Structures are given as structure tokens and as C-alpha cells.
A = this chain, B = another copy of it.
Amino acid sequence: MRQYETFKLKFKGAAPESSQAAVNLEAAFTVGEETVKVKGFYAGDESYAVRFYPVKPGCYTWKVTGAVEAEGKEVCDAAVYPGMVKAEETHFAYENGEPFYPFGTTVYALAHQSEEIIEQTFASLEKSPFNKVRHCIFPKHYSYNHNDPELYPFEKKEDGSWDVHRPCFAYWDHMESIIRRLGEMGIESDLILFHPYDNWGFATMSMEENLVYLDYLLRRLSAIPYIWWSLANEYDIMFSRTKEDWYVIEDYVAANDPYHHLLSNHNCMKFYDFSRPNITHCCIQTPAMHLTGAMMERYGKPVVFDECEYEGDIEFNWGNISAFEMVNRFWKGCVAGGYATHGETFWSEDEVLWWAKGGVLKGESPQRIAFLRDIISELPGALKPWQEPIYEDYGEMPDNGTFEIFMALRASLTEEERINLEWKDAQYAGHIEDEVFLKYLGNQCCSVSAIRLPKDHTYKVEVIDVWEMTRTTVYEEAKGKTMLKLPGKAGMAVLATRVE
């Protein structure tokens, strides 16, 4: 047993007489004064398993009761690995305190492809900057997704309907091996528990069936550290569910996950209620990257743009942004301390598009996302939104009521005017206290610009070309409003790092 690693127990025992999912099997793990109770599961072939994820090192005793009875002792060694990723205010960190900056990608039906494609996907991920993959438990049916998988999560009843009480053990072994293999590569599984793109009946199971499925899933997978629970992809267009259904599902997952994995729910159009206490981070679909600061302020949680459209060339507007635009959106989100998720949808006669099936990465954004990840990872902490004091340029507002009139004008705007102005005037900038200031100019093609640094410290200033992936130091020692000569093109960033 080692801290932050899955501890496994396996027992022989008679197959359950009724449900093979909701079996009677509990385990209690005790270290010092503390006891953690977890549920075990039936693993097929007259065998039962218990998985436990020890957060503390020390001397454990354990006791298994129910379908199998057993007990024992284990010494849990101190961690080698960093643990589970958790939310810390508006950023993420492993349990050992190391920061985790998610640079995700999307391979929805990763586990449902042929072995050959899955191997290609792992080879591609190995060379990629991505440390999180959004992928689904259930197979996917959609444009460019017309293949049936080999394995499904459940066996079928005689009438052809799914029997959630009979898990397909081969399926779960396969899914688990994929999650573990990703995890060993340092890649988190942002595991999608439901989604609407269904051809088999998984999207329309009854709530009773949903909870049996989740119960089994949580028994099997909870003790794996590198999983985030994404209740759904596009929960809001699963028309068989109400908002209250989602709350039931959310509460069930939260209550039955002893380790409190990251938990969120991903929208198509209507953001989930990220203020709910179980929800650990904002998992959002929108290309409105300038929302980072507002969402952080509103929810006090990390903000992940888990779909900000995909680099590609297919007919759907969410799947045909340019490589530059994919990179642009990453930078817009990341400089303010948010995170973005990549996807790739290049048309292919064989219908193997990365966003759904994986395979080979064809785009030009991943290497630039790697460049960004390197920059973010080298910073001395997590960025927070920075309101650059650009209004200083205009001097003090005259003390004649002008400021009040200006504020009244702002207040008089319709929501449409206000929100469209945000698109127009959005500033993309972040800081780490007064140590680091990072500003991204996005689509602005400036030949002249400025960064307004504190006047009481000295900064090294670098100009970054996010497409060419170059960093050029333009000042060794700058302070206050610092003028910049730039190449008059989109995709330029400015990084100011305090020098002592």
C-alpha cells in the first residue's frame, strides 16, 4: 500500500444471486483514529474486488464484510506520486501541493475504437502537450461516429434491453486499463458519465438504472487518482433529464465517491449551476474566453473552457476554427488564469477524427499549446485576472460629475449592448501578485502598444509570438508604463517578470 496509489484486494466468492452491480460488499480502512468505508464490487468470474485510495501514509487495518469476509493489515508507505488533482481556489493542485495546469484535449469515444486506433492515440498523446483527456463511458453516435464498439458497459437482457445489474466485466477492465495507462502518462481522465449522442439507449435509461450504473462505476473507479467526473457532455440537450435529475445524479456521485474527485457538468448552451457545493470547477462550453475573470469572481472556482470549438475543417462551425484561432483561445483563457481544452476535427474519409476517435493529430495547434504550457508551467504560481490600469493614460477623471455620468451611461446599457461591448473591449491579462504580469493582445495587430507595470518594482519584459513560438527580451529593467514596439500582427503576448 502506498499513499496516493490504488490499493487492491481481490477475493474469490460465489457469484451474486441477484444484481452483479449492487453487491453487498463493504470495506473499512483504518489508520490511527480515522476510518474510511468503501464499497467493493463484483469483478466477474466468481471474484470480488475492493479498491482503496490511501491519502495518508501509516499502518492500516482493513476489514471486508458482506459477500466476502476478510481482514488484514498494511503499511502504507509515503507517496512517490503527487496524488489526485484538486481545486484550490481558482486553480488546481495535486494533493502533494504541486500545481496542475490542465491543458486538455478531447477524444470522446477513445475507449470505443479498435485496438489499432487506440494505440495510435496513445502514441499521439505521448508526443502531445495534453495532460487531460475528455472521454466517455458510453459509446458515441453522431456525424463521423457511425461505428459500434466491441464492448458495452452492460450485458443485455433477453429482450435486448440493457441490464445495468450485469456489468460487462471485459468492458470495465478495458476502460480501466485506458484510464490507468493515461494516468501513468501524467494524463487525467475527464470522464464523461452521460452524453446525448446515443444510439443504444444509454441516454434514456431510468433514474434507477442510472444510479445502479453509477454505483458500479464508483465502486470500480473511485480509487483511481487520475479521474475527474464530468457528469455529462452537453447535459442540457439530454432532453430526457430535468435539472432536478442532474442534481440527483450529482448528489449521488458526490455522496458515493469517498475521495472527492473533481466534479463538474458540461453544457451545450446553458451553463450548469457551478455555485453548487459539490461542483469543484466551471466546466464550460463557449468561445467567450473573456469570461474567465467574471466566472472566477462569480464562483470562486477554477474555470476550464472544456469546449471552445475545435481546430479543423468540417462543416460544423464548432469544428472548423483555424489552428491560429485554437491557439488564440488557449492564450486568451490561460493568461487570465483560466484553462482551455483542445479538440481537432479535420475531415477524413475514414471518419477517424481526433475529437471523437483519436488516432493521429494533424493540426498545427498542439505544438503551440505545448509552447504555452511550458510558459505557464515555469511561472512561480497560478495566474489571476489582471485589470491593467489603462485608464491611467487618460489622467484623473475631472471632478465635475463626468465620472458619475460615465457610470450612469454604463448602467444604462442593455444586456445586449454590455455583452457585445465585452467582446469588443475584452482585455486578456493575468498576474501573480506583483511578481509576474502576462498580457495577451489576441487579434490586435499592434505596431505600438504598452504594458502598465507597477512603478515601484523592476521587470524583465519579454515579447512573445504565440504562433512562431519565440520569446524576445525587450527590456531587462522596466517599470511603470512601458512602451512596446510590436510587429503589427495578431498573436502577440507580453510577459513581465520581476527582477530583484
Residues of A in contact with B (beta carbons under 8 Å apart): 236-237, 239, 269-271, 286-288, 291, 309, 312-315, 317-318, 320-322, 325, 346-347, 402, 405-406, 409-410, 412-413, 415-417, 419-421, 423-425, 443-450, 488-490
Closest to A309 in B: B424
Of the candidates B271, B309, B321, B444, which one forms a contact with A320 in the assembled complex, judged by CB atoms under 8 Å apart? B444
Q: Could you tell me if A446 and B322 are in contact, using CB atoms closer than 8 angstroms?
A: no
Nearest-neighbour CB distance to chain B for A179, whole angstroms, equals: 31
Q: Could you tell me if A415 and B412 are in contact, using CB atoms closer than 8 angstroms?
A: no
A-B contacts, 25 listed (Cβ < 8 Å): A236-B409, A237-B409, A269-B410, A269-B413, A269-B417, A270-B412, A287-B423, A288-B424, A291-B420, A313-B446, A313-B488, A315-B446, A315-B449, A315-B450, A317-B425, A317-B444, A318-B424, A320-B445, A320-B446, A321-B444, A321-B445, A322-B489, A415-B416, A416-B419, A423-B423
Nearest-neighbour CB distance to chain B for A270, whole angstroms, equals: 6
Q: Which chain B residues lie closer than 8 Å to A405 at the CB level?
A: 239
A211 to B410, CA, bound (A): 28
Q: Which chain B residues lie closer than 8 Å to A312 at the CB level?
A: 445
Q: Could you tell me if A443 and B271 are in contact, using CB atoms closer than 8 angstroms?
A: no
Interface hub of A237, A320, A447, A488 (most chain B Cβ within 10 A)? A320
Closest to A425 in B: B317
Of the candidates B271, B288, B424, B448, which one forms a contact with A313 in the assembled complex, judged by CB atoms under 8 Å apart? B448
Q: Could you tell me if B322 and A490 are in contact, using CB atoms closer than 8 angstroms?
A: yes
Of the candidates B288, B415, B416, B448, which one forms a contact with A315 in the assembled complex, judged by CB atoms under 8 Å apart? B448
Nearest-neighbour CB distance to chain B for A485, whole angstroms, equals: 10
Q: Which chain B residues lie closer than 8 Å to A417 at the CB level?
A: 269-271
A424 to B310, CA, bound (A): 12
Q: Could you tell me if A420 and B421 are in contact, using CB atoms closer than 8 angstroms?
A: no
A287 to B447, CA, bound (A): 21
Interface hub of A406, A420, A423 (most chain B Cβ within 10 A)? A420
A320 to B444, CA, bound (A): 5
Q: Could you tell me if A447 and B317 are in contact, using CB atoms closer than 8 angstroms?
A: no
Closest to A271 in B: B417
Closest 7 A-B residue pairs measured CB to CB?
A: A415-B415, A313-B447, A313-B488, A419-B419, A288-B420, A239-B405, A320-B444
Q: Which chain B residues lie closer than 8 Å to A420 at the CB level?
A: 286, 288, 291, 419
Q: Which chain B residues lie closer than 8 Å to A271 at the CB level?
A: 417
Q: Which chain B residues lie closer than 8 Å to A317 at the CB level?
A: 424-425, 444
20 extra interface residue pairs, beta carbon distance < 8 Å, beyond A269-B410, A347-B447: A239-B405, A269-B413, A270-B409, A270-B413, A270-B417, A287-B423, A291-B420, A313-B447, A314-B447, A315-B446, A315-B450, A317-B425, A320-B445, A320-B446, A320-B488, A321-B445, A346-B447, A347-B448, A415-B415, A419-B419
A406 to B239, CA, bound (A): 8
A318 to B443, CA, bound (A): 11
Closest to A419 in B: B419
Nearest-neighbour CB distance to chain B for A207, whole angstroms, equals: 17
A447 to B421, CA, bound (A): 32
Q: Could you tell me if B315 and A423 are in contact, using CB atoms closer than 8 angstroms?
A: no
Nearest-neighbour CB distance to chain B for A413, whole angstroms, equals: 6
Q: Which chain B residues lie closer than 8 Å to A322 at the CB level?
A: 443, 445, 489-490
Nearest-neighbour CB distance to chain B for A101, whole angstroms, equals: 25
A320 to B424, CA, bound (A): 12
A30 to B46, CA, bound (A): 108
Given contacts A239-B402, A270-B417, A488-B313, whether A288 and B423 have CB atoms under 8 Å apart is: yes
A423 to B423, CA, bound (A): 9
Nearest-neighbour CB distance to chain B for A364, whole angstroms, equals: 12
Closest to A323 in B: B445
Closest to A444 in B: B320
Q: Which chain B residues lie closer than 8 Å to A447 at the CB level?
A: 313-314, 346-347
Interface hub of A291, A417, A444 (most chain B Cβ within 10 A)? A444
Q: Which chain B residues lie closer than 8 Å to A412 at the CB level?
A: 270
Q: Could you tell me if B288 and A443 are in contact, using CB atoms closer than 8 angstroms?
A: no
Q: Which chain B residues lie closer than 8 Å to A325 at the CB level?
A: 443
Nearest-neighbour CB distance to chain B for A114, whole angstroms, equals: 24
Of the candidates B313, B425, B443, B446, which one forms a contact with A445 in the assembled complex, judged by CB atoms under 8 Å apart? B313
Closest to A410 in B: B269
Q: Which chain B residues lie closer than 8 Å to A421 at the CB level?
A: 269, 286
A203 to B236, CA, bound (A): 51
Nearest-neighbour CB distance to chain B for A420, whole angstroms, equals: 4
Q: Could you tell me if B286 and A424 are in contact, using CB atoms closer than 8 angstroms?
A: yes
Q: Which chain B residues lie closer than 8 Å to A419 at the CB level?
A: 415-416, 419-420
Q: Which chain B residues lie closer than 8 Å to A237 at the CB level?
A: 406, 409
A288 to B488, CA, bound (A): 23
